[in-house]
Amino acid sequence: MARSIFIDGESGTTGLQIRARLAHHPEIRLRSLDGEARKDPAAKRALMAEVEVVVLCLPDDAAREVAAIAGAMGEAAPRLLDASTAHRVDPEWAYGFPEMARGHAAQVAAARRVSNPGCYPTGAIALIRPLVDAGLMAPDQALTINAVSGYSGGGKAMIAQFEEGRADPFFLYGLGLEHKHLPEIQLYAGLSRRPIFVPSVGDFAQGMLVSIPLHLDTLPGAPEAADLQAALSAHYAGCDWVRVVAADAKAQLEPQALNGTNMLELRVYGNERHRQAVLVAKLDNLGKGASGAAVQNLGLMLGLDMAAAMPLAAE
């Protein structure tokens, strides 16, 4: 029997990509609301009672409203997967980064409510959390996280600005140091000190690089860059969608190579003479950073193989 899913907000960037990835899955039936019914709480509640999972691709306030509807449905409520930022640090929601820690995928699989990670946090947490857990980075480490994303992560208005030639080719933003992803990064990376996060947008549609510079002598035990890479490799050994790649310091690293996939690549660049390192995560901001991660989490929640909906990057 097909498993029924309702994508609430399927016309947005994330929703469209989730729908495209799931459209031909033989074990999934996608349900929708048409026209004005999309704004009718009663119609939405009726459909929610008929499906197994509702994926929320909505603004934060709207996602909270749908979660409240589900909360009032009791045992008839569907499971929820929220792609907004509304519930990412809510302890009643499982955080949908299955590779984050040992056993975490099982928590996602069993949860009634799962919050899909943000694109920037996925790269940052993937780099930091294993090092904190391994004792190679202190929770109160002073960190700066730099990141550049394709413009598709900015929503319809930003996409239009770039595609119509009205946007600058590159810009920093979030310079008030209050970016909405910061609480999520700090919590799930295991940090007690708030990091400095400097996001940016470039003139390309999809792709992302997240980088974290380090002075090795400030880390516990003054490790070498090779120790950091070994810890990351050990943490992600056997993971299908996260891989640690040998860093080539002579090569340029561009952000778009993983577009269309659910892959996340991690690299450690080091210079032992200067005792410095740079950690780098590369991903598709609409793949492992959004829609791909949602499909991966749906697979865990429903016990379905989603490999066909999440192609690997070319080797």
- By annotation, the residues acting in catalysis are 119
Tokens coding 90: 């809510």
Angle between the N-to-C axes of helices 155-163 and 13-22, in degrees from 0 to 180, rounded to the nearest 10: 90
Q: How many CB atoms lie within 10 A of CB 222?
A: 11
Burial of 206 (0-12, 13-18, 19+ CB in 10 A): buried
Tokens coding 297: 């989490």
Residues with Cβ within 8 Å of 208's Cβ and at least 6 positions away in sequence, in order, are: 119, 120, 123, 147, 148, 149, 150, 153, 255, 281, 282, 283, 284, 285, 289
User: Does the CA dihedral 150-283-141-99 come out positive or negative?
Assistant: positive
Tokens coding 39: 């704004």
φ and ψ of 127, to 5 deg: -80, -40
- Partnered with residue 31 across adjacent β-strands are 6
- 205: number of CA atoms within 13 Å, CB side? 8
C-alpha span between 173 and 116 (Å, rounded): 23
- Partnered with residue 197 across adjacent β-strands are 145
Question: CA separation (Å) from 134 to 129, 227, 233?
Answer: 9, 10, 12
CB 200 within 8 A of CB 147: yes
